[in-house]
Structure 1
């Protein structure tokens, strides 16, 4: 039951992070009047889908992100061309459906050969019906029907490219912005639950590994470490780890406190294959007491957490650039693994982790990497400077190549994560 709960919380966390990001794109695109064709969480085959108003909401198989597909961002997959035979269904003298196949089975329609069609500006279609040309006005929300699938037309003023630089920039930036807002809220909630940290008071034993000296010596999780070989350890965890490391195969005299009882314990660190120095098979925890945070303090501490975490994220980017290694990258598998471990620690820790991931997602998407939001914002910025847009086909190719490269990298990282799990 606990494992099912952890899986549920992990999946729910990722669902919320991605949904909030894509909702930012969706909401501000709709406010700008852009037709959002699909709001998707995940990629690949559909698991669940329903349509509300003009947008298809979809849950897909691969949990690698999501997207809000706006009209005009990519070439339309369904088009009507001159010389093509179609069937029209009219409602109140306006075309509401344009059928592109199975024309003989359509009832109460007008069939003819397309002479001229404009579904972006004039919203008209001219048909040759029994040798006579007739012009029909097209409704702004008319549907193109092909292979049992309906695709809504996108008049020019409903397309992404028709909007101002500011409107498009806001629609793109809104995704990361929502992640920043969510991160701040989650940090605030975490501080309300966990409180504000006070100066550390002592070191204690954490999780222990079977068959290792810590368990063999009778230590238990939560034991407070008073001294080692007569030396007070205080709250310096690194000092203690160094003492253990340099004491391989040498008995150490520990004094621990368990509740009100003080005990003397002899423990001998030993070597672990593939690791240097002595090990006792236990994590060492620095105990940090907390106090309740006021409503206002939570805002201040949330801001500080945002700044500190942002700094740590960029330090990580810098290290990765200076010394790239596949082992330093983590894909969905490793992220799910770490999230599961954190979920075991409690809802407060999971909330903090979700805040960190939300902040990371927002920052990562603003990097100037093709296919990410940062790259799209750069193209918009160049357009603002030049006074005219870059060729959409060239921009689309850049984003396609970037997406393909990121997807291949994701596959490689996931493969590496799976191998790491199998090898232990």
Structure 2
């Protein structure tokens, strides 16, 4: 823990990016694959390999069940390989399966019922969501949450808030029906709602009134020089010590808050994707491994809590991405199993192979696109 707490001392050089990146990615990938592994073992599937990373093995060992646990040379993911798999993507090795006896096939992933296979596949993303909830809950319990009352201190002249009729002293109660408990809640909703009209319930004096405001899209630069396009109303808060409090939560409430935080990431992700298709958001904000490495290094300078918080957000993102119905991803497998459950028999081998090829092409194109975005982002700094 002390080692991780001093990650920021490595600075912004290559090592300062690499170590936090490997810590965050390894944690998220390990938990994802552990979800697959544990449910597979529970269902009686023989697991041949559990790998963190791809490519040649760097170090590893065999457990008493015959599973090879290893760390591989390319630390950009991982996989669990079951008996009967051709590769780490759970593509069936049809020649090997055809040669197996009935007893041997019962130990394979493909020898299990459609519901068992679906449970094994879904366990990876579910484990990512559980990890995120656990991290958020631990932060709320151990370190607490710093909040400021959602009371308006100043209104920028000519801003969206000024036009909407906000006044200093207004207490924000709700936005779009969502309860606002702190100024942080207000900021998170407004920043992700650029150009979207918001219905805001405020308390002014002894009465309540409803205002309509549309956050303006603005470019802001963070402390690391990264430019973000976010929504702003033009409100400021009273940040004096008397108006700021740190609240720690008991574990049950912390878990509930962790689940809400996880859902917030999911909701905002879907809102962003919807914004891309509607033309409201730009796809150039999609990032890949290079961006994750850069952000990990930057966040590590803020301390261990900020880094594990990033790991929680990344865990939600990876879990959600894997649920997309694209062959090669967990969601693609679940789509095949849903079709199998409805039809009463699996899709033909040819149809599945075609799906995997299309899925591979889609994943490769996404990787190329996000890597290009990462390069353009770096060259603009």
Whether TM exceeds 0.5 here: the answer is yes
Report the secondary structure of 2:153's partner residue. Answer: coil
Q: Which residue of 2 aligns with 1:15?
A: 26
| 2:364 corresponds to 1:415 | no
Distance 1:398 1:5, change over 3 A: same
| CA RMSD between the two structures | 3.5
* CA distance in structure 1 between the partners assigned to 2:246 and 2:274 by the alignment: 33
Verify the 8 A CA contact 1:13 1:354 in the aligned structure 2.
yes
Q: 1:2 aligns with which of 7, 10, 35?
A: 10
Map 1:23-422 → 2, pairs under 5 A: 23-52=34-63, 53-72=65-84, 73-76=90-93, 119-121=99-101, 155-200=104-149, 234=153, 239=156, 287=239, 288-323=244-279, 325-422=282-379
Cα gap change, 1:194 to 1:285, in 2 (>3 Å): farther
- Pair 412,195 (structure 1): closer, same or farther in 2 beyond 3 Å: same
Is the helix fraction higher in 1 or 2? 2
Mapped partners of 1:419, 1:16: distance in 2: 28
Q: 1:75 to 1:162 in 2, by over 3 A?
A: closer
Q: Which has the larger radius of gyration?
A: 1
Contact 1:6 1:344 in 2 (8 A): no
**Structure 1: distance between partners of 2:52 and 2:116:** 23
Higher strand share: 1
Would the aligned equivalents of 1:35 and 1:159 in 2 still touch at CA under 8 Å?
A: yes
Output the CA distance in 1 between the equivalents of 2:363 and 2:250: 43
> 1 CA distance for matches of 2:308 and 2:269?
18
Give the TM-score of the pair, scaled to structure 2: 0.67
Ranked by relative contact order (alpha carbons within 8 Å, sequence separation 6 or more), the top structure is 2
Q: Distance in 1 between matches of 2:58 and 2:96?
A: 27
8 Å CA contact 2:20–2:293 kept in 1: the answer is no
Query: Can you list the C-alpha shifts for 1:82-104, whole angstroms capped at 9, x where unaligned?
Result: xxxxxxxxxxxxxxxxxxxxxxx
8 Å CA contact 1:327–1:416 kept in 2: the answer is: yes
Aligned length: 292
Partners of 1:279 and 1:300 in 2: how far apart?
32
Deviation for aligned residue 1:379: 0.7
TM-aligned CA deviation for residue 281 of structure 1: 9.9
TM-score, structure 1 normalization:
0.60
Report the Cα distance in structure 2 between the residues aligned to 1:339 and 1:279, rounded to whole angstroms: 20
